[in-house]
A = this chain, B = another copy of it.
């Protein structure tokens, strides 16, 4: 199903007066601090975050999964779901596939459907953390790091197939997340496992087209609970450097030890030219995969503070943006809309930081003033800017409100049934 342009316009018309008043107030507030609202709006319009194909279904934990009806059962249906989100928000113009969950039955058809829906294919993800039915060799003891030659070979070949598939679809990057590691002290030769991973990544890197990027994700723990081969950014950068200039680190916000200063990692990676991409989500304890900005909105803002600064310094350094959340008790589409909103809001606020005054306060080591500058941007209410950016792009002032009033989930259930289950976690 699609939302008609008319439906969206009707919604916007209805909310227009209220929106205009709020926008006017927001413009005045921005004027006060010397920020050009138009520039802000256009930058917000320009940002698009990729939606992972696996995020359209209800997620779960090892303790269970509570289905929501109308989940997409095929790649085609997933593309339609992303299109709905993009119609409502105008900030989700691409999809990030996960192979083998999303192998297209018909490549050309998928490609043209995506084009029709106004979507492109972002970084493509391989999967060597689960065994698939009738898989030749198990990943029980690892994939790229495995000391079982045949299993490692299979994992390398799988990644190369994913590259080929991605190339056919127009992707320009491969994201590799390895679950490889160990559960018990002594279980693996830690150095040998890292060496094998490096060698395997080099082979995958060599198989990429010349305009592709390799994104090496790291994660502190889970599903392995003693060691993880690519446990931190330092290891990821080492592997990226071992591969070549087009290998970069991918940061997933939930993949860190308690209390990690993630924004500092982002700054360091940008300084070293190795920040390749982002998986946005939020968490309180571990890789909780909660809605972006739902638990630590200030941290999200501080990360964007670094990103904005880094992109100002080097515009070519913009990373690949992606959401990677899991929706255990929310309607996944609503959840994704909330995530997009939180990301855009953090970005907008980071754009409002007065960087020349901040630079001066830092030069003077005026710590109190630095905090005031940073926080005064965070405290701005910029929701009207996001609304206006959506209006201009033909999207909805209040996406969730429209999603509900247009009874989209109900229609999806009618179309697809109550019992479908999307592939993914």
Contacts and interface: CB of A to CB of B under 8 A. Distances in A.
A144 to B, nearest CB: 15
A294 B223 contact: no
A32 to B, nearest CB: 7
A205 interface: no
A288 to B, nearest CB: 4
B284 A226 contact: yes
Interface string A276-288: 0000000111101
A369 to B, nearest CB: 8
Contact of A294 (B184, B232, B380): B184
A6 interface: no
B223 A61 contact: yes
Nearest to A129: B63
A32 B293 CA distance: 24
A131 B295 contact: no
A222 B285 contact: yes
A186 B371 contact: yes
Residue in A183, A222, A359 whose Cβ sees the most chain B Cβ within 10 Å: A183
Contacts of A195: 271
A1 B214 CA distance: 52
Interface residues of A, number: 107
Contact of A264 (B227, B291, B296, B372): B227
Nearest to A377: B186
A405 interface: no
Contacts of A356: none
A367 B187 contact: yes
A223 B63 contact: yes
A293 B331 CA distance: 32
A425 B63 contact: yes
B362 A147 contact: yes
A149 to B, nearest CB: 11
A400 B261 CA distance: 28
Contacts of A335: 368
Nearest to A177: B63
B365 A129 contact: no
Contacts of A264: 190, 227, 231
Given A185-B374, A186-B375, 19 more contacts: A29-B381, A61-B62, A183-B328, A184-B294, A184-B295, A184-B371, A186-B305, A187-B371, A188-B362, A191-B268, A225-B283, A227-B264, A234-B237, A257-B258, A257-B260, A259-B285, A293-B375, A330-B368, A338-B368
List 4 tightest A-B contacts by C-beta distance, closest first.
A234-B234, A186-B374, A225-B288, A61-B223
26 contacts: A25-B25, A61-B222, A63-B222, A66-B140, A140-B329, A147-B362, A182-B367, A183-B288, A183-B290, A185-B263, A185-B374, A186-B305, A188-B370, A189-B362, A194-B271, A225-B284, A234-B268, A257-B260, A261-B284, A286-B286, A297-B375, A298-B298, A334-B368, A338-B368, A379-B383, A380-B381
